[in-house]
Amino acid sequence: MRLLITGSPGTGKTTVGKMLAKRLKCRFINEMEFALQKGIGKWDHENAELIIPLTKLKRELAEELEKHKNIIVEGHTLCEIKLPVDAAILLRVHPEILQERLERKQYSTVKIADNVFCEGIDYCKKHVFRRYKREQIIEVKNEGNIKQTVNAIVKELRERGIYA
């Protein structure tokens, strides 16, 4: 089973992804760590972020997905590329909750505004729905208990026959 988890920064992708990978006994890949390991991208010191060329990331991740049967890839830019996965999990959070989370993580005011705006206009959702078939997409609100979010994802994977 090959899964993708995406959503705006602060929606819980990494936390949910790691917990889901442990539960499903899958390998877990975070897009930023993967890009750094592969030497993909350049660090933008002014904005304190890694700028990842999506074409190269897509190629490298597709190769990695081919090598592994049970794998979860996670990252916010993954909504912008199409990968050979069985399901694309889109994590969502109400913009006000997202703002609180990003403030706790000490994001800059500009980054908070940018990410809250993107969540509010369904940026990731629009991109995921352009790239994947509706039946491949699992959209989940992650506003409370992480365990409940993971359980909801596992339930959907079972109902769709992706996970037994």
What value does the mean pLDDT take over residues 27-44? 92
Residues 86-144 have pLDDT tens digits of 999 999 999 999 999 999 999 999 999 999 999 999 999 999 999 999 999 999 999 98
**Structural domain containing residue 138:** 2-154
Is 161 within the bounds of a domain? no
Is 163 within the bounds of a domain? no
- The SS3 assignment for 22 reads helix
Position 129: which residue type?
F
Is 159 within the bounds of a domain? no
Report how far residue 107's alpha carbon sits from residue 101's, in angstroms, rounded to the nearest whole number. Answer: 9
Domains contained in the chain, number:
1
Q: Do 35 and 57 contact (CB within 8 A), yes or no?
A: yes
Which pTM value belongs to this model? Answer: 0.93
Is 164 within the bounds of a domain? no
Is 93 within the bounds of a domain? yes
